[in-house]
Amino acid sequence: MANVGDKIKKDLKDLIASKTKQREQILDLLSLKDVLIDEMDALIINIDSNLPPLFDEINDEINKVKAAYDARIDAGCRSALYWRDDGIIQEYGNNNPKRRQWTVALNPSTRVDLNGTGYGYHSLKYYQYPRNRDYGSSLIAQFEGNIVGSGFTLAVTTKKLELSDIKPDYTRIKVGDEITDALVRPEVFQAGNLPSVVSIGTTDTLSGVTTSIVGTVSVGSTILFNLGIGNVAGTPVGSGIGLTTILHPDTTVYGHGTASHTFGQVNDVGVTTQVTENTPTIILNRPAIGTATTERFSVGIKTTVTALTLSTSASIDAYNQEFYAIRTGTDPDESFNVTTNPLDPVSVGNINSSNLGIGHSVVYVNASSKYTTYPTGPFQWREIFQDPEPIQGGSAAIYSNGNQSWPCSKNPDGDPISYPAEGTIRISPYQPATTNETPVFPPPTTGACNALTAAITAAEAARDAVIAKNEPIIKGYVAQTRALRALRDDQEIEAWGLLQSAAYMRQEVERLTAHLSDLEGQTLPDIDM
């Protein structure tokens, strides 16, 4: 008779010891690899630190050019605005012709830029794989969120990835994990006093602006009159609705109705008359804190999202900001998911003083680069699914050359009496008036306008001189940091493999230990072999 059970338990203990030893050896190799990566990090960060000041010199000159163009517009020498036709709005009365909405907006035909969106700033664009991470501390999650300055509640806005079997990594966050907005020089939270997660719950937040409506509301009233473009279908009950200084931040749509309302309508000669009609209304859940007449209100779907209660407050407001969760005092493989794809998703954004050294690859973005004038990000790119690259760039300075045509309001005699500001909305069947004559009250002198034009020429010359001086230096640094990033990425490929192996061994030890626990403490029957 042989005690097979004892032999199985002994073999199991030997296997656990073997895998434990293997994991320890892998972690030692990972530690050595991480030292090499950290050394390369330090060199890359050192090179990257030279770039923001060079970019700032160029971008400051670009802003001076913008300021010179804006000064000529502000002086009244030229106009950058026009009456934009927003189209026919829903007709609630019996008036004919149908009412249209007109808005004073920037005239796209007078823009001074390269591709219709602005004169692009110079910056360094990065591409970051999930494997481009720190392997010493435990980076638990990378996610997007919203937090108000001095607030303790961080709303997680990261959405679930497209694949049904992939969960967003923020779900691995536990109480006690530290939160930061940057791995180098955080701004939302103070370095050396990073908040820890006190509790995990839910909170309500807007899931982005889905539409907007033009309307009127009085202070203390819960009735918002819908006058312009926008309708009930786009403002379902429960939607968040907002306008800074007019509505409380927690205002939502409580219901809908109609009511008689008197408002100004512009006739065919530009004169505003009062019209009374039965107008759709939006009923708010709380009274307005200010008065607005023919203003644009933003509407978004209010959703319940994961909320992290933090131990310390945020220093500044942050919306759709990238955050990191770090677990200290643990092994790097503790919460690592062995099935995580090292190549997906790709984070695409801009290098700044708070994220130096980030990414496996970088591109110098200037005024002629692809996507240069688009928002800085960061954005998530599903490259492995052949999704189009996010239109992310360095942002841009937007300004106008202007012309001699001003949108205006008229008196009953048809004479221009004022020039409405950008964003002004008119409800009218007719196009509001525009004059092609010298329109300023009083008009500037020709000499003053000529001086402002000369200032533009001088600013553009100064901009081009700084670009000519800084670009060769920038390109030299970019070549160095791009090469070093490629070499570091080679090391990170190996580090990722080691981390996967260590995490797998850890899981195996935990699984086998659970089986041993079930067998220990019990007498197994002897088996006649």
* Domain ranges within the chain, ordered by starting residue: 1-130+346-378+395-407+438-529, 137-196+311-331, 206-301
Q: What percent of the chain is modeled with pLDDT above 70?
A: 87
Amino acid at 510: E
Q: What element of type H or E holds 468?
A: helix 446-519
Q: Rounded to an integer, what is the distance from CA 20 to the centroid of its chain?
A: 43
| pLDDT recorded at residue 210 | 63
| pLDDT recorded at residue 151 | 77
Evaluate whether 238 touches 284 at the Cβ level (below 8 Å). Answer: no
DSSP string, 217-241: E-TT--EEEE-SS--GGGS-TT-EE
Q: pLDDT grade, residue 528 (50/70/90)? A: low
Q: Does 164 score more than 50 pLDDT?
A: no
Burial, 242: exposed, middle or buried (Cβ in 10 Å; 0-12, 13-18, 19+)?
middle
Helix, strand, coil tally for the chain in percent (to 5): 30, 30, 40
| pLDDT recorded at residue 140 | 76
Q: Does 134 score more than 50 pLDDT?
A: yes
Q: pLDDT grade, residue 162 (50/70/90)? A: very low
Q: pLDDT grade, residue 153 (50/70/90)? A: confident
> What is residue 2's DSSP assignment?
B
Q: Does 37 score more than 70 pLDDT?
A: yes
Q: Which two tokens stand for residue 6?
A: 């004892």
Cα–Cα dist 236/258, whole Å: 15
* Closest alpha carbon to 291 in 201, 223, 194, 368: 223
**CB burial readout 321-354, b (16+ within 10 A) else e:** bbbbbbbeeebbbebbeeeeeeebbbbbbbbbeb
Q: Does 527 score more than 70 pLDDT?
A: no
Evaluate whether 408 touches 434 at the Cβ level (below 8 Å). Answer: yes
Cα–Cα dist 19/129, whole Å: 29
Q: Which residues contact 257 (CB under 8 A, 6 or more apart)?
A: 223, 280, 281, 283
For range 18-38, the mean pLDDT: 85
| pLDDT recorded at residue 317 | 75
| pLDDT recorded at residue 57 | 96
Q: pLDDT grade, residue 161 (50/70/90)? A: very low
Question: Of 270-279, 397-406, 422-431, where does the model show the most confidence?
Answer: 397-406
Of 228 and 181, more confident: 181
Neighbouring-strand partners of residue 266: 272
**Helices and strands, number each (H, E), in the chain:** 3, 23
The structure's pTM equals 0.71
Three-state SS for 246?
coil
Tokens 């009244």 map to which residue? 76
Amino acid at 518: D
355 phi and psi angles, rounded to 5 deg? -135, 35
| pLDDT recorded at residue 252 | 87
Cβ neighbours, 10 Å, residue 523: 8
Q: pLDDT grade, residue 518 (50/70/90)? A: confident
| pLDDT recorded at residue 95 | 54
Of 97 and 35, more confident: 35
Handedness of CA 169, 171, 174, 180 (dihedral sign): positive
Q: Does 130 score more than 50 pLDDT?
A: yes
Cβ neighbours, 10 Å, residue 411: 12
Give the pLDDT confidence of 341-391 residue by residue, as tens digits. Answer: 888 889 898 998 888 999 999 999 887 777 776 777 788 888 888 888 888
| Cα 359-361-366 angle, rounded to 5 deg | 105
Tokens 């110098």 map to which residue? 364
Q: Does 93 score more than 60 pLDDT?
A: no
| pLDDT recorded at residue 480 | 96
Burial, 253: exposed, middle or buried (Cβ in 10 Å; 0-12, 13-18, 19+)?
buried
Average pLDDT in the chain: 83
Q: Does 461 score more than 80 pLDDT?
A: yes
Q: Rounded to an integer, what is the distance from CA 56 to the centroid of its chain?
A: 21
| pLDDT recorded at residue 163 | 41
Three-state SS for 24?
helix
Evaluate whether 292 touches 232 at the Cβ level (below 8 Å). Answer: no
For range 45-51, the mean pLDDT: 95
Q: Which residues contact 367 (CB under 8 A, 6 or more apart)?
A: 114, 119, 120, 121, 122
Of 267 and 15, more confident: 15
| pLDDT recorded at residue 1 | 47
Q: Which two tokens stand for residue 520?
A: 């220990």
* Closest alpha carbon to 370 in 387, 388, 352: 388
| pLDDT recorded at residue 165 | 45
Tell me the chain's radius of gyration from C-alpha atoms: 31
Give the pLDDT confidence of 286-341 residue by residue, as tens digits. Answer: 999 889 888 888 787 777 788 899 998 888 877 778 888 887 666 788 778 888 88
Question: Of 262-276, 381-395, 481-495, where does the model show the most confidence?
Answer: 481-495
Q: Which two tokens stand for residue 112?
A: 């001074």
